[in-house]
Chain A
């Protein structure tokens, strides 16, 4: 076995410590590829059974706005995928209140259940992570 893999031990390590991962989303959907790329990385990372949280700040709050219909711009509407995250045990979604307010959005305008926190609480959340990936 080790010969076939160049001497690298391929056995799955299940004893590793679970780390806290935070994905920070700051970009509106569709105008750039960041929002979709972030979502893809989150889905891939879901396979590794880590402690995952998502943060939506600045224009990132637009990613999870209800009522997206992309047929006319001929781009895939990926907003329903956020609803699938629950199935991967990714249930900690945080929206920054200040970002939401500046855009006239309310908690009921989002397609997924979120926890609304203020910027100071968001800073604490960031501080408490092992790994932060920013999009």
Chain B
């Protein structure tokens, strides 16, 4: 399953809840304000780095760049563009959009 998260981890607990419900083989894609969850040195970083050990985590680069966060992304998080977003959706049988 592909999980998408579009809320900032310091605004809502959406990312935390999503990561708690990941099963083996699930991937996470951070979009919109969700990309703040992809950053180093924040209060959410440790939680995300932990999840990254077991699950691929992606972040939508246009949203990262819009927010000026391009130099702060956690190593190991894969950056995708819009067509990469489409590929991820196509590759996974189901998508859960955490709002």
Chain A residues within 8 Å of B, Cβ to Cβ: 27-32, 58-59, 62, 65-70, 72-73, 75, 77, 79, 102-104
Contact = CB atoms under 8 A, between A and B. Distances in A.
Chain B interface bracket (under 10, 10 to 19, 20 to 34, 35 or more): 20 to 34
B94 interface: no
Nearest to A67: B68
Interface in B19-63: 32-33, 36, 39-43, 45, 61-63
B72 A104 contact: yes
A61 to B, nearest CB: 10
B4 interface: no
Contacts of A65: 67-69
A74 to B, nearest CB: 9
Interface of B: 6-8, 10-11, 32-33, 36, 39-43, 45, 61-63, 65-72, 81
A68 to B, nearest CB: 4
B10 A77 contact: no
Dominant SS among interface residues on chain A: loop
A72 B65 contact: yes
Nearest to B61: A72
A59 B62 contact: no
Given A104-B40, A104-B41, A69 B8 contact: no
Contacts of B39: 103-104
Contacts of B66: 29-30, 68-70, 72-73, 75, 77
Nearest to A62: B67
Residue of A30, A32, A72, A75 with most chain B CB atoms under a 10 A cut-off: A72
B10 A31 contact: no
Contacts of A69: 65-66, 68, 70
Closest 10 CB pairs of A and B: A104-B41, A31-B33, A72-B62, A67-B68, A68-B68, A65-B68, A70-B66, A102-B43, A73-B66, A69-B65
